[in-house]
Amino acid sequence: MEKTWRWFGKNDVITLDMLRQIGVEGIVTSLHDIKNGDSWSSENILEIKNYIESHGLRWSVVESLPVSESIKYGGTDRDILIENYKTSLENLSKAGIKTVCYNFMPVIDWIRTDLNYKLPDGTITLFFDKIRFAYFDCFILKRLGAEKDYSPEEMQQVLELDKTITAEEKNELIQTIIVKTQGFVNENFKNNANEPVELFRKLLALYDGIDKNQLRANLKYFLEQVIPVAEKWGVNLCIHPDDPPFSVLGLPRIVTGEEDISWFLNAVDSPNNGLTFCAGSLSAGTHNNVTDLALKFASRTHFVHLRSTELLDNGNFREASHLSGNADLVELVRIFTKENQNLPMRVDHGKLMLDDANTKHNPGYSFYGRMYALAQVSGIMAAVNKGL
Ligand code: DNO
Protein backbone atom coordinates (compact mmCIF):
# COMPACT_ATOMS: atom_id res chain seq x y z
CA MET A 1 0.00 0.00 0.00
CA GLU A 2 1.13 3.55 -0.61
CA LYS A 3 1.75 5.52 2.60
CA THR A 4 -0.13 8.79 2.30
CA TRP A 5 -0.91 11.61 4.71
CA ARG A 6 -3.68 14.17 4.85
CA TRP A 7 -2.09 17.59 4.48
CA PHE A 8 -4.16 20.77 4.65
CA GLY A 9 -2.21 22.91 2.21
CA LYS A 10 0.52 25.51 2.42
CA ASN A 11 -0.76 26.89 5.73
CA ASP A 12 -0.59 23.50 7.44
CA VAL A 13 1.92 23.70 10.29
CA ILE A 14 2.90 20.14 9.45
CA THR A 15 5.12 20.78 6.45
CA LEU A 16 5.91 18.55 3.50
CA ASP A 17 9.56 18.44 4.57
CA MET A 18 8.47 17.02 7.91
CA LEU A 19 6.40 14.39 6.13
CA ARG A 20 9.31 13.20 4.01
CA GLN A 21 11.28 12.55 7.18
CA ILE A 22 8.65 10.17 8.52
CA GLY A 23 8.29 8.00 5.44
CA VAL A 24 5.24 9.53 3.79
CA GLU A 25 5.12 8.81 0.06
CA GLY A 26 1.96 10.46 -1.17
CA ILE A 27 -0.15 13.45 -0.20
CA VAL A 28 -3.88 13.56 0.34
CA THR A 29 -5.25 17.05 0.03
CA SER A 30 -7.89 19.32 -1.41
CA LEU A 31 -8.07 22.84 -2.81
CA HIS A 32 -9.22 24.15 0.52
CA ASP A 33 -9.61 27.76 -0.65
CA ILE A 34 -11.96 27.12 -3.55
CA LYS A 35 -15.58 27.78 -2.74
CA ASN A 36 -17.70 24.65 -2.52
CA GLY A 37 -19.51 24.17 -5.83
CA ASP A 38 -17.01 26.08 -7.99
CA SER A 39 -15.02 24.06 -10.47
CA TRP A 40 -11.32 23.52 -9.94
CA SER A 41 -9.21 25.12 -12.66
CA SER A 42 -6.10 23.45 -14.10
CA GLU A 43 -4.10 26.42 -12.92
CA ASN A 44 -5.16 26.01 -9.27
CA ILE A 45 -4.65 22.26 -9.36
CA LEU A 46 -1.19 22.54 -10.91
CA GLU A 47 -0.06 25.12 -8.40
CA ILE A 48 -0.58 22.70 -5.51
CA LYS A 49 0.59 19.69 -7.47
CA ASN A 50 3.87 21.38 -8.42
CA TYR A 51 4.37 22.57 -4.87
CA ILE A 52 3.97 19.02 -3.56
CA GLU A 53 6.29 17.63 -6.21
CA SER A 54 8.94 20.26 -5.51
CA HIS A 55 9.14 18.67 -2.06
CA GLY A 56 9.78 15.22 -3.47
CA LEU A 57 6.25 13.92 -2.91
CA ARG A 58 3.24 13.27 -5.13
CA TRP A 59 -0.40 14.30 -4.88
CA SER A 60 -1.98 10.84 -4.65
CA VAL A 61 -5.55 11.46 -3.59
CA VAL A 62 -8.02 14.33 -3.49
CA GLU A 63 -9.87 14.41 -0.18
CA SER A 64 -12.34 15.80 -0.72
CA LEU A 65 -13.82 17.12 -3.90
CA PRO A 66 -16.89 18.23 -1.95
CA VAL A 67 -20.39 17.47 -3.15
CA SER A 68 -22.53 20.56 -2.61
CA GLU A 69 -25.46 20.32 -0.25
CA SER A 70 -27.84 21.11 -3.11
CA ILE A 71 -26.74 17.98 -5.01
CA LYS A 72 -27.49 15.96 -1.89
CA TYR A 73 -30.99 17.31 -1.28
CA GLY A 74 -31.76 17.75 -4.97
CA GLY A 75 -31.93 21.55 -5.24
CA THR A 76 -32.84 23.36 -8.44
CA ASP A 77 -29.23 24.30 -9.19
CA ARG A 78 -27.87 20.80 -8.85
CA ASP A 79 -27.25 20.32 -12.59
CA ILE A 80 -25.01 23.37 -12.72
CA LEU A 81 -23.09 22.12 -9.69
CA ILE A 82 -22.73 18.66 -11.21
CA GLU A 83 -21.34 20.23 -14.40
CA ASN A 84 -18.74 22.02 -12.30
CA TYR A 85 -17.92 18.74 -10.58
CA LYS A 86 -17.33 17.09 -13.96
CA THR A 87 -15.01 19.92 -15.03
CA SER A 88 -13.00 19.45 -11.83
CA LEU A 89 -12.67 15.72 -12.50
CA GLU A 90 -11.46 16.37 -16.04
CA ASN A 91 -8.92 18.96 -14.89
CA LEU A 92 -7.66 16.71 -12.10
CA SER A 93 -7.17 13.86 -14.53
CA LYS A 94 -5.29 16.10 -16.98
CA ALA A 95 -2.93 16.95 -14.10
CA GLY A 96 -2.46 13.23 -13.40
CA ILE A 97 -4.51 13.06 -10.19
CA LYS A 98 -6.80 10.09 -10.51
CA THR A 99 -8.23 9.22 -7.10
CA VAL A 100 -11.00 11.40 -5.71
CA CYS A 101 -12.70 10.94 -2.34
CA TYR A 102 -16.03 12.57 -1.46
CA ASN A 103 -18.94 11.94 0.87
CA PHE A 104 -22.71 12.11 0.66
CA MET A 105 -23.57 12.87 4.29
CA PRO A 106 -26.29 15.49 4.63
CA VAL A 107 -25.40 18.65 6.61
CA ILE A 108 -22.79 17.20 8.95
CA ASP A 109 -19.61 15.43 7.90
CA TRP A 110 -18.45 13.54 11.00
CA ILE A 111 -19.55 13.62 14.61
CA ARG A 112 -17.81 13.56 17.99
CA THR A 113 -18.96 15.05 21.28
CA ASP A 114 -15.55 15.34 22.97
CA LEU A 115 -12.23 16.13 21.34
CA ASN A 116 -10.23 15.89 24.56
CA TYR A 117 -11.03 12.55 26.14
CA LYS A 118 -8.15 11.62 28.43
CA LEU A 119 -6.89 8.04 28.45
CA PRO A 120 -5.15 6.53 31.50
CA ASP A 121 -1.70 6.89 29.89
CA GLY A 122 -2.14 10.67 29.52
CA THR A 123 -2.83 10.70 25.78
CA ILE A 124 -6.02 12.26 24.48
CA THR A 125 -8.49 10.84 22.02
CA LEU A 126 -11.83 11.62 20.33
CA PHE A 127 -15.08 10.42 21.89
CA PHE A 128 -18.74 10.04 20.93
CA ASP A 129 -21.11 10.08 23.89
CA LYS A 130 -24.65 9.15 22.91
CA ILE A 131 -26.32 10.89 25.83
CA ARG A 132 -24.47 14.15 25.22
CA PHE A 133 -25.34 13.89 21.57
CA ALA A 134 -29.01 13.30 22.45
CA TYR A 135 -28.81 16.30 24.76
CA PHE A 136 -27.54 18.43 21.88
CA ASP A 137 -30.36 17.12 19.68
CA CYS A 138 -33.23 17.50 22.17
CA PHE A 139 -32.19 20.44 24.38
CA ILE A 140 -29.90 22.60 22.26
CA LEU A 141 -31.12 22.05 18.73
CA LYS A 142 -34.62 21.35 20.06
CA ARG A 143 -35.40 19.30 16.97
CA LEU A 144 -39.08 18.53 16.68
CA GLY A 145 -39.80 14.94 17.76
CA ALA A 146 -36.12 14.24 18.54
CA GLU A 147 -36.98 12.36 21.78
CA LYS A 148 -38.55 9.59 19.67
CA ASP A 149 -35.10 8.65 18.39
CA TYR A 150 -33.91 7.72 21.88
CA SER A 151 -35.08 5.06 24.31
CA PRO A 152 -36.92 6.05 27.54
CA GLU A 153 -33.79 5.06 29.52
CA GLU A 154 -31.63 7.28 27.35
CA MET A 155 -34.10 10.17 27.67
CA GLN A 156 -33.98 9.72 31.43
CA GLN A 157 -30.21 10.18 31.34
CA VAL A 158 -30.59 13.20 29.08
CA LEU A 159 -32.92 14.77 31.65
CA GLU A 160 -30.42 14.02 34.41
CA LEU A 161 -27.68 15.65 32.38
CA ASP A 162 -29.84 18.73 31.95
CA LYS A 163 -29.78 19.19 35.74
CA THR A 164 -25.99 19.32 35.93
CA ILE A 165 -24.61 20.53 32.62
CA THR A 166 -23.04 24.01 32.84
CA ALA A 167 -23.42 26.82 30.32
CA GLU A 168 -19.75 26.40 29.51
CA GLU A 169 -20.16 22.70 28.81
CA LYS A 170 -23.16 23.40 26.60
CA ASN A 171 -21.19 25.90 24.61
CA GLU A 172 -18.31 23.47 24.29
CA LEU A 173 -20.71 20.82 22.99
CA ILE A 174 -21.99 23.21 20.32
CA GLN A 175 -18.48 24.23 19.37
CA THR A 176 -17.37 20.62 19.15
CA ILE A 177 -20.28 19.21 17.16
CA ILE A 178 -20.87 22.13 14.83
CA VAL A 179 -17.76 24.26 14.61
CA LYS A 180 -14.54 22.46 15.52
CA THR A 181 -15.18 19.13 13.79
CA GLN A 182 -16.79 20.74 10.74
CA GLY A 183 -15.01 24.04 10.15
CA PHE A 184 -12.02 22.57 8.34
CA VAL A 185 -13.84 20.04 6.15
CA ASN A 186 -17.36 21.29 5.67
CA GLU A 187 -18.17 24.45 3.74
CA ASN A 188 -21.43 24.83 5.66
CA PHE A 189 -19.54 25.78 8.80
CA LYS A 190 -16.38 27.34 7.45
CA ASN A 191 -15.15 30.55 9.07
CA ASN A 192 -16.71 29.65 12.41
CA ALA A 193 -20.37 30.31 11.82
CA ASN A 194 -21.59 33.10 14.11
CA GLU A 195 -24.83 31.52 15.14
CA PRO A 196 -24.05 27.86 14.68
CA VAL A 197 -27.27 26.47 16.12
CA GLU A 198 -29.47 28.70 13.95
CA LEU A 199 -27.44 27.81 10.90
CA PHE A 200 -27.65 24.14 11.76
CA ARG A 201 -31.45 24.31 11.98
CA LYS A 202 -31.67 25.99 8.59
CA LEU A 203 -29.52 23.31 7.01
CA LEU A 204 -31.54 20.51 8.59
CA ALA A 205 -34.71 22.06 7.19
CA LEU A 206 -33.38 21.59 3.67
CA TYR A 207 -33.83 17.86 4.22
CA ASP A 208 -37.45 17.99 5.37
CA GLY A 209 -39.24 15.15 3.64
CA ILE A 210 -36.05 13.56 2.32
CA ASP A 211 -35.87 9.96 3.43
CA LYS A 212 -33.32 7.26 2.74
CA ASN A 213 -34.85 6.38 -0.63
CA GLN A 214 -34.84 9.96 -1.80
CA LEU A 215 -31.25 10.51 -0.70
CA ARG A 216 -30.29 7.32 -2.51
CA ALA A 217 -32.09 8.56 -5.62
CA ASN A 218 -30.12 11.82 -5.39
CA LEU A 219 -26.83 9.92 -5.08
CA LYS A 220 -27.77 7.78 -8.07
CA TYR A 221 -28.63 10.88 -10.09
CA PHE A 222 -25.21 12.33 -9.26
CA LEU A 223 -23.35 9.09 -10.03
CA GLU A 224 -25.15 8.58 -13.34
CA GLN A 225 -23.76 11.88 -14.49
CA VAL A 226 -20.27 11.91 -13.03
CA ILE A 227 -19.22 8.28 -13.43
CA PRO A 228 -19.20 8.37 -17.27
CA VAL A 229 -16.89 11.38 -17.00
CA ALA A 230 -14.72 9.56 -14.46
CA GLU A 231 -14.55 6.60 -16.86
CA LYS A 232 -13.60 8.80 -19.78
CA TRP A 233 -10.81 10.48 -17.83
CA GLY A 234 -9.65 7.43 -15.88
CA VAL A 235 -10.56 8.84 -12.47
CA ASN A 236 -11.52 6.61 -9.56
CA LEU A 237 -14.21 8.19 -7.42
CA CYS A 238 -14.48 6.76 -3.93
CA ILE A 239 -17.25 7.62 -1.50
CA HIS A 240 -16.44 7.95 2.20
CA PRO A 241 -18.71 6.02 4.60
CA ASP A 242 -20.90 7.89 7.04
CA ASP A 243 -19.21 8.64 10.36
CA PRO A 244 -20.71 7.32 12.55
CA PRO A 245 -22.49 4.80 10.33
CA PHE A 246 -26.05 5.33 11.48
CA SER A 247 -28.78 7.92 11.06
CA VAL A 248 -28.49 11.02 13.21
CA LEU A 249 -30.68 14.07 13.83
CA GLY A 250 -33.46 12.62 11.72
CA LEU A 251 -31.21 12.72 8.65
CA PRO A 252 -30.94 9.70 6.40
CA ARG A 253 -27.47 8.18 6.03
CA ILE A 254 -26.79 5.90 3.09
CA VAL A 255 -23.24 4.56 3.38
CA THR A 256 -23.38 2.70 6.67
CA GLY A 257 -22.63 -0.97 5.98
CA GLU A 258 -22.81 -3.92 3.63
CA GLU A 259 -26.27 -3.40 2.18
CA ASP A 260 -25.69 0.30 1.54
CA ILE A 261 -22.28 -0.25 -0.04
CA SER A 262 -23.61 -2.98 -2.33
CA TRP A 263 -26.48 -0.71 -3.25
CA PHE A 264 -24.40 2.25 -4.43
CA LEU A 265 -21.81 0.07 -6.18
CA ASN A 266 -24.61 -1.55 -8.18
CA ALA A 267 -26.51 1.71 -8.70
CA VAL A 268 -23.88 2.57 -11.30
CA ASP A 269 -21.86 -0.58 -11.79
CA SER A 270 -18.49 0.70 -12.94
CA PRO A 271 -14.99 0.14 -11.57
CA ASN A 272 -14.66 3.93 -11.39
CA ASN A 273 -17.50 4.04 -8.87
CA GLY A 274 -15.73 2.90 -5.74
CA LEU A 275 -15.31 3.13 -2.01
CA THR A 276 -13.00 4.85 0.45
CA PHE A 277 -12.67 2.06 2.97
CA CYS A 278 -12.68 4.07 6.20
CA ALA A 279 -12.08 1.33 8.74
CA GLY A 280 -12.70 3.77 11.58
CA SER A 281 -16.12 4.91 10.42
CA LEU A 282 -17.30 1.41 9.57
CA SER A 283 -15.97 -0.02 12.83
CA ALA A 284 -18.20 2.34 14.85
CA GLY A 285 -21.28 0.40 13.74
CA THR A 286 -22.19 -2.64 15.84
CA HIS A 287 -23.75 -4.11 12.70
CA ASN A 288 -20.43 -4.16 10.81
CA ASN A 289 -17.76 -6.85 10.65
CA VAL A 290 -14.98 -4.73 9.21
CA THR A 291 -12.82 -7.62 8.00
CA ASP A 292 -15.75 -9.18 6.14
CA LEU A 293 -16.52 -5.86 4.53
CA ALA A 294 -12.91 -5.52 3.37
CA LEU A 295 -12.97 -9.02 1.88
CA LYS A 296 -16.19 -8.28 0.09
CA PHE A 297 -15.37 -4.81 -1.25
CA ALA A 298 -11.56 -4.81 -1.70
CA SER A 299 -11.82 -4.89 -5.48
CA ARG A 300 -13.90 -1.70 -5.54
CA THR A 301 -11.83 0.08 -2.88
CA HIS A 302 -9.66 2.90 -4.23
CA PHE A 303 -8.46 4.46 -1.00
CA VAL A 304 -8.12 3.24 2.59
CA HIS A 305 -8.35 5.08 5.91
CA LEU A 306 -6.72 3.02 8.63
CA ARG A 307 -7.94 3.57 12.16
CA SER A 308 -10.08 1.70 14.63
CA THR A 309 -12.73 2.45 17.23
CA GLU A 310 -13.60 0.91 20.55
CA LEU A 311 -17.32 0.40 21.06
CA LEU A 312 -18.40 1.09 24.62
CA ASP A 313 -21.67 0.51 26.43
CA ASN A 314 -24.77 2.53 25.61
CA GLY A 315 -23.84 3.42 22.06
CA ASN A 316 -20.71 5.36 22.99
CA PHE A 317 -17.45 4.91 21.12
CA ARG A 318 -13.94 6.29 21.14
CA GLU A 319 -11.00 6.12 18.81
CA ALA A 320 -8.83 3.14 19.66
CA SER A 321 -5.13 2.68 19.10
CA HIS A 322 -4.28 1.56 15.57
CA LEU A 323 -3.43 -1.88 16.99
CA SER A 324 -6.64 -2.54 18.88
CA GLY A 325 -10.38 -1.93 18.79
CA ASN A 326 -13.10 -3.11 16.50
CA ALA A 327 -11.12 -2.93 13.25
CA ASP A 328 -8.31 -5.46 12.84
CA LEU A 329 -5.79 -3.40 10.90
CA VAL A 330 -3.41 -6.35 10.48
CA GLU A 331 -6.09 -8.27 8.60
CA LEU A 332 -7.09 -5.20 6.63
CA VAL A 333 -3.54 -4.49 5.48
CA ARG A 334 -3.24 -8.13 4.44
CA ILE A 335 -6.49 -8.05 2.46
CA PHE A 336 -5.81 -4.76 0.71
CA THR A 337 -2.15 -5.52 -0.05
CA LYS A 338 -3.17 -8.76 -1.74
CA GLU A 339 -5.71 -6.85 -3.77
CA ASN A 340 -3.47 -3.99 -4.85
CA GLN A 341 0.13 -3.31 -3.76
CA ASN A 342 -0.22 0.38 -4.67
CA LEU A 343 -3.51 1.17 -3.01
CA PRO A 344 -3.17 4.51 -1.20
CA MET A 345 -3.79 4.41 2.52
CA ARG A 346 -3.56 7.04 5.19
CA VAL A 347 -3.66 6.68 8.91
CA ASP A 348 -6.59 8.57 10.28
CA HIS A 349 -7.32 10.43 13.52
CA GLY A 350 -4.20 10.25 15.63
CA LYS A 351 -4.31 10.78 19.38
CA LEU A 352 -2.95 13.90 21.01
CA MET A 353 0.37 13.03 22.59
CA LEU A 354 3.74 14.51 23.53
CA ASP A 355 3.96 18.04 22.13
CA ASP A 356 0.69 17.81 20.14
CA ALA A 357 -1.29 19.84 22.64
CA ASN A 358 1.03 22.81 22.04
CA THR A 359 0.68 22.94 18.28
CA LYS A 360 -2.21 24.06 16.14
CA HIS A 361 -3.91 21.27 14.23
CA ASN A 362 -7.35 20.19 13.08
CA PRO A 363 -9.19 17.79 15.41
CA GLY A 364 -7.96 14.25 14.77
CA TYR A 365 -5.04 15.47 12.69
CA SER A 366 -2.25 15.82 15.21
CA PHE A 367 1.38 15.35 14.20
CA TYR A 368 2.90 13.05 16.83
CA GLY A 369 -0.25 10.98 17.23
CA ARG A 370 -0.50 10.32 13.53
CA MET A 371 3.23 9.80 13.20
CA TYR A 372 3.03 7.17 15.93
CA ALA A 373 0.10 5.50 14.15
CA LEU A 374 1.96 5.59 10.85
CA ALA A 375 4.92 3.87 12.50
CA GLN A 376 2.59 1.16 13.83
CA VAL A 377 0.95 0.67 10.44
CA SER A 378 4.32 0.72 8.66
CA GLY A 379 5.36 -2.15 10.89
CA ILE A 380 2.22 -4.06 9.99
CA MET A 381 2.87 -3.41 6.31
CA ALA A 382 6.45 -4.64 6.50
CA ALA A 383 5.41 -7.84 8.25
CA VAL A 384 2.53 -8.45 5.84
CA ASN A 385 4.72 -7.86 2.79
CA LYS A 386 7.29 -10.31 4.10
CA GLY A 387 4.63 -12.92 4.72
CA LEU A 388 3.04 -12.68 1.28
C1 DNO B 1 -12.81 13.38 9.16
C2 DNO B 1 -12.79 12.84 7.79
C3 DNO B 1 -13.92 13.31 6.93
C4 DNO B 1 -13.68 12.91 5.49
C5 DNO B 1 -14.75 13.32 4.54
C6 DNO B 1 -14.51 12.77 3.16
O7 DNO B 1 -11.83 13.32 9.83
O8 DNO B 1 -12.73 11.47 7.81
O9 DNO B 1 -14.00 14.70 7.01
O10 DNO B 1 -12.50 13.49 5.04
O11 DNO B 1 -15.98 12.89 4.98
O12 DNO B 1 -15.33 13.40 2.24
Q: 128-158 pLDDT, tens per residue?
A: 999 999 999 999 999 999 999 999 999 999 9
Q: Are 78 and 71 in contact (CB under 8 A)?
A: yes
pLDDT of residue 293: 98
Under 8 Å between Cβ of 24 and 3:
yes
pLDDT at 247 over 90: yes
pLDDT over 70 at 265, yes or no:
yes
Residue 346 bridge partners (DSSP): 4, 305
For the residues 94-101, what does the mean pLDDT come to?
98
Mean pLDDT of all residues in 191-202: 85
CA distance 351 to 124: 6
Closest atom of ligand 1 to 185 CA is 9
The predicted pLDDT at position 284 comes to 98
Domains of the chain with bracketed CATH: 2-110+209-387 (3.20.20.150), 114-205 (no CATH)
What's the pLDDT at 104? 98
* Helix, strand, coil percentages for the chain (3-state, nearest 5): 45, 15, 35
- Residue 194 pLDDT: 79
Residues 6+ positions from 185 with CB-CB distance below 8 Å: 64, 109, 110, 362
Atom of ligand 1 nearest to the CA of 278: 8
Probe residue for ligand 1, chosen from 61, 103, 281 as the CB with the greatest number of ligand atoms within 8 Å: 103
Locate the DSSP E strands across 209-360. Answer: 236-240, 273-278, 301-306, 309-311, 317-319, 344-347
Return the closest-CA partner of residue 364 out of 13, 116, 178, 11: 116
Least trusted range by pLDDT, from 120-124, 190-194, 379-383? 190-194
Distance from Cα 281 to the centre of ligand 1, integer Å: 10
Q: Which of these, 5, 93, 99, lies nearest to 52 by C-alpha position? A: 5
For residue 363 and ligand 1, the question of a CB distance below 6 A is answered with no
The confidence band for 192, taking pLDDT boundaries of 50, 70 and 90, is: low
Nearest CA to ligand 1 atom 2: 110
pLDDT top residue among 193 and 260: 260
Q: Which amino acid is at 189?
A: F
| 344 vs 29: CA distance, rounded Å | 13
Q: Determine whether the shortest distance from the Cβ of 218 to ligand 1 is under 6 A.
A: no
Task: Give me the active site residues, please.
Answer: 240, 278, 305, 348-349, 365
So what's the pLDDT on residue 137?
A: 98
| 303, β-bridge pairs | 276
- What is the structure's pLDDT at 190? 81
Determine phi and psi for 219, rounding to 5 degrees: -65, -45
pLDDT at 313 over 90: no
Q: Is residue 48 within 8 Å of 29, Cβ to Cβ? A: yes
- pLDDT class of 188 with cuts at 50, 70, 90: confident
Segment 277-286, tens digit of pLDDT = 999 999 999 9
Confidence of residue 311 (pLDDT cuts 50, 70, 90): very high
Taking 70 as the threshold, does the pLDDT of residue 193 lie above it?
no
Percent share of the chain, pLDDT over 70: 99
Q: How much of the chain exceeds pLDDT 90, in percent?
A: 95
Residue 376's pLDDT is 98
Mean pLDDT for all residues in the chain? 97
Q: Is 237 in the pocket of ligand 1 (CB under 6 A)?
A: no
Average pLDDT over residues 192-200: 85
pLDDT tens per residue across span 32-47: 999 999 999 999 999 9
Question: From CA 210, how far away is CA 214, in angstroms rounded?
Answer: 6
User: Of the candidates 128, 131, 181, which has an alpha carbon nearest to the alpha carbon of residue 309?
Assistant: 128
185 lines ligand 1 (CB under 6 A): yes
101 pocket-lining for ligand 1 (C-beta < 6 Å): yes
For the stretch 52-76, pLDDT in tens is 999 999 999 999 999 999 999 999 9
Tell me which of 64, 184, 348 to substitute to probe ligand 1's pocket, judged by most ligand atoms within 8 Å of the beta carbon.
Answer: 64
How many residues comprise the chain? Answer: 388
